[in-house]
Amino acid sequence: METINGLRKSEAVELAFKIGFEGEREKTNCAQESFHAISSTLGIRNSLVFKCLSALEAGGGITTAGSCGAFSGSLVAFSYYFGRTYDQWEEGKSYIKASILGQKLYKKFIKQFDAVVCNNIHKKIYGRTFKLMDEDNLGIDKVVLKEFEKMGAHTHMCSTVVGLAAAWSVDILWDKIPKDRNMENIPGMEEALRNFKPTEI
């Protein structure tokens, strides 16, 4: 049976959902949490990539005006595996495999939420939008944030969006990335030691 990071496909998809949901509920930042869930599930955690996702939360810069962070963080996971390298870029080569995987995720977002833009997803799932950015002082508008949290943003709403993005992404990546080596025919230590004697000629 094929596994990645010791998990069967169904287990990996479910684990990615749970890690994404829990991370967004407890620590927030949809972009970081989606990447964290995918990368933890598939065994590719990368602290620098994770850090670089920080400002993509809540539509980018907490503006809610751009792509959903869960969508963006998932695209970065696709690029981690299949993004264009510096060598390809310097040679002027086009390489869009990561983007094609991103289009598969886009279709799932459209089917579920009719959108990939943060405030449009808010409109779909909350019935209204939230302008989380404090326009005058920069940062977060604490009054709007309080309303956002009251409507379940980080108890179950945005947490579910992140969990779904991570689960969908693992499902999309599954058939494209290397699987664990099959170790079923390799003996364990005890069995190897029992057989630890020369073969008779």
**pLDDT value, residue 198:** 87
Nearest in space to 41 (alpha carbons), one of 72, 68, 17: 17
Per-residue confidence band for 13, with pLDDT thresholds at 50, 70 and 90: very high
Whether 161 shows a pLDDT value over 90: the answer reads yes
Nearest in space to 80 (alpha carbons), one of 23, 146, 34: 34
Strand stretches in the chain, DSSP E: none
CB 179 within 8 A of CB 2: yes
pLDDT in tens, 167-188: 999 999 999 999 998 877 888 8
173: exposed, middle or buried (Cβ count in 10 Å: 0-12, 13-18, 19+): buried
Whether 37 shows a pLDDT value over 80: the answer reads yes
Q: How far is CA 105 from CA 27, 115, 140, 145, in A?
A: 24, 11, 29, 28
Q: What is the DSSP-derived secondary structure letter of residue 199? A: P
Give this prediction's pTM. Answer: 0.92
CB 168 within 8 A of CB 74: yes
Whether 201 shows a pLDDT value over 80: the answer reads no
pLDDT in tens, 72-116: 999 999 999 999 999 999 999 999 999 999 999 999 999 999 999
